[in-house]
Amino acid sequence: MAVTIGQRLSAYEITSLLGKGGMGEVYKVRDTRLNRFVAIKVLPEHVSKNDEVKQRFEREAQTLASLSHPHICPIFDVGQHEGVNYIVMEFLEGQTLANRLERGPLPLDQALKIAVEIADALDKAHQQGIVHRDLKPGNVMLMKLGAKLLDFGPAKLKPVGPSPTLSALPTRADMTAQGTILGTLQYMAPEQLEGRDADARTDIFAFGEIVYEMVTGRRVSKAEAMRV
pLDDT of residue 212: 96
In a 3-state reduction of DSSP, which class is residue 61?
helix
Which range, of 6-15, 56-65, 131-140, averages the lowest pLDDT? 56-65
* pTM for the model: 0.78
Q: Predicted confidence band at 70 (pLDDT cuts at 50, 70, 90)?
A: very high
Would the pLDDT of 175 be above 50?
no
User: What pLDDT was estimated at residue 227?
Assistant: 60
Options 134, 151, 199, 203, the catalytic residue: 134
Provide the b/e sequence for 160-199 (b: ≥16 CB within 10 Å): eeeebeeeebebeeeebeeeeebbbeebbbeebeeeebbb
Q: Are 38 and 103 in the same domain?
A: no
pLDDT of residue 142: 97
More confident residue, 225 or 6: 6
Is residue 131 within 8 Å of residue 171, measured between CB atoms?
yes
pLDDT of residue 108: 97
Task: Report yes or no on 3 lying in a domain.
Answer: no
Q: Among residues 58, 75, 90, which one ends one of the domains? A: 90
Question: Which of the pair, 157 or 161, is modelled with greater confidence?
Answer: 157
Predicted pLDDT at 189: 79
> Which of 85-89, 117-121, 137-141, 168-172 has the lowest average pLDDT?
168-172
Mean pLDDT (whole number) for 180-189 = 65
Q: Which domain holds residue 126?
A: 95-227
Residues 115 and 24 in one domain: no
pLDDT at 22: 62
Query: Among this protein's residues, is 134 annotated catalytic?
Result: yes
The answer, yes or no, to whether residue 155 has pLDDT greater than 60, is: no
Q: Which of 42, 59, 90 is the last residue of a domain?
A: 90
pLDDT on residue 113 = 98
Report, as an integer, the average pLDDT of 162-190.
Answer: 48
Please count the structural domains in the chain: 2
Which amino acid is present at 187? Y
109 and 196 part of one domain:
yes
Numbers of helices and strands, H then E, in the chain: 6, 11
Dump pLDDT digits (tens) for 104-123: 999 999 999 999 999 999 99
Give the domain-ending residue among 64, 90, 116.
Answer: 90
What is the rounded average pLDDT of the residues 3-31?
A: 90
**What pLDDT is attached to residue 124?**
94
Tens digits of residue pLDDT in 26-60: 999 999 999 999 999 998 777 777 787 778 778 77
> CA–CA separation, 215 vs 179, rounded Å?
33
Q: What is the pLDDT of residue 177?
A: 39
Q: Domain containing 166 — which CATH number? A: 1.10.510.10
Question: What is the pLDDT at residue 38?
Answer: 97
